[in-house]
Chain A
Amino acid sequence: MVDSALAQGLPMEEAPRMPNAAVIGLISLAGAAAATCSLVLALRNDTISADIGEPLVIALLSVWVTTSYILCGLIAWWHRPASRFGPLMIAAGFANFLASLAWTTNEVVFTFGQALDLLPPVLFLHVFLAFPSGRLRGRFDRWLVVTAYVTAIGLELVRMTFGYFGPLNLLEITENADAAQAATRVQLTLVSAYCLTGVGILVARRLRAGRPLRWSLALLADAFGLALVMIAALLMSAAWGGPAVQQIRWATFAALSLAPVAFLVALLHSRLARSSVGDLFVELQADPAPADLRAALARALSDPSLTLAYWLPNYGCYADQDGRLIELPDADSGTATTRIDQGGAHVAVLLHDPALEDESELLSAVTAAAGLGLENGRLHAELRAHVVELSASRARIIDVGQKERQRLERNLHDGAQQRLIALSLELSALEARLADDPEARARLDQARREIATSLEELRDVARGLHPAVVSGHGLEIALEQLAARAPVPVTLAVDLDGRVSESLEVAAFYLVSEGLANIGKHANATTATVEVRRLDGRFIVEVVDNGGGGADTELGTGLRGLADRVEALDGRLRVWSPAGGGTRLRAEIPCAP
């Protein structure tokens, strides 16, 4: 949870304390008193029925909004003391009450209540945008809400100076119908616009999350959005004399009171979700190392996007259970992180939907239950990481060796071999000039022969270092030479459709070379087949003879080296050699299609 607080760029706080029971009781009492007061004021006010319709309906809706927000706010506060959302809801409930003070007959109280007439809509906007932490998220949200407060209260005061609020209005300076109407329209239109902007922000947030919300949260978000749209509709209708203001007003109050209900439903849902922790416990106790702990946790938290990142201290990084590296997301990536420590040591991190922060108890319960399987999972991840690292390093070693041999071959080719040929050519030229000295000619000829022998030896060395013809002209050309020099007639079938990677080509070349050489040594074969092809993303090399079989299928030293090379490319080398049934050498290596 601390991580998520940091992720929102807020300073660390002391552990939040549960609100005092006495405070809760006091607020409840105050709420009840406020609701009663609104009810009485509405019923005793004569002008309500003329201004805004059926007093009893208005009174009951207003009281319902006040009490439901205060009640839900108290529950939210009790449930999540760290969040400001609860107090904010309580404030919204009381603001609704304060606005209803305009129904009084006392001048001072009326003036106060009337000045706060548009405070509730803005507070609702504030509440909805601040869900779930109770804090506004960005600079724009804060600007929007502050501006809305200033507009709602500031313009109300301006309006009141122009009169038309009845005899109780202490702020009236003059009676100016045009000015009053203009101020009213500007104020209501602006506040509507702010509410609709709020709807836009809610929609954008939901789109950005990119994941479907759990249904209870979706319901809550819908309730927020609906309430804001209704407020905007009501204010616009009131400002520009739209139709059915009264019905819209009732609908707005009803929509507003949906939000606390949806909130309670969401709360209940997450309480119910906690029963899944029990299932998780049972599952983990039966098998402390389930094949996929992540999936079990994702089920328990009903967050399919959940990622479990094990901390591997030896590598100083996070990895999934197969040892693949996991980068923790940035603070503003829309993914929240929860640290899991055991016995003072950091074990893992959960990457999850930020909405889960709203259900910290569920999250804590699940992570506590996960403790049973975590250590096993972490060891598994570490082992897998070792394997991944080892195979990568084996591939690297072979690759580096290959590159080095290739470089040596190049050096021999461009250096010693060329020089020897040039030297031999020079001796020939010299020989031609010594036409009348047979002894010198004979010795030069001898020297040339020596050079020719050296060249042949060098050629063998260079060829052993790296099959340059494979890199230069492709596998098929190179294999043709191997087949031509093989001890038995070879049928060669290369079906590649273009070149494959050099490491594959070189591996195939060595494999065929070794396979054909082995046939010469001990297979008693009369023919052999070499097949190279690509099939379903695999590169397949086969050397088959019709000899006696019974060859040692435990790979001998020559084949062992080849197997290493093939395995370093993630492939497999197999040998079949049933007695009397010939020998089949087959390598399968994954390759891009």
Chain B
Amino acid sequence: MKKMFAAIVTAIYGLMLTAAPILAADGQITGSSNVDASVKVLGMCSLNVNTVDIDFGDLLEGATSSSVARSADLTTNTPTTVTIFGTNWIGLTPSNNFGVGQTEYGLDVAPHIDLDLNPGTTLFSSQVDAPHNVNFQVTIPPHPQPADTYSQTVTIGFSCDQD
């Protein structure tokens, strides 16, 4: 909507500027004038991620959680890349931890890809609107993995061409 408004304002103002001398004349001047109008539609993209916290609950060593989904809805009119990465799992006792790759994700399918620390990992690419669900699950490493409450942050980013 904003884009449309911007385009209309640009066009009208372009007409005003071009036609102003004609309108300022006293009417005795006759003739015609071509008005060239142009508008540039900018590349726009936005990503709406359901960032509600994920609680995988209580798990024993070596156990795998059930799958939890979070939506990642892309709105775009230009080539856009959506990325995903995470942090390692850290316990309340900081020396307790395990790797980011224990978390798996899957785009609209069961989790099967190890989460990575690399911010450049592509989740998906699209140049049109693309609503998706990202499914997550975590597998606790085998013994010995100290009992603790562990946390991880998963970041879903995006970038697109604006020109």
Q: A and B, one complex?
A: no
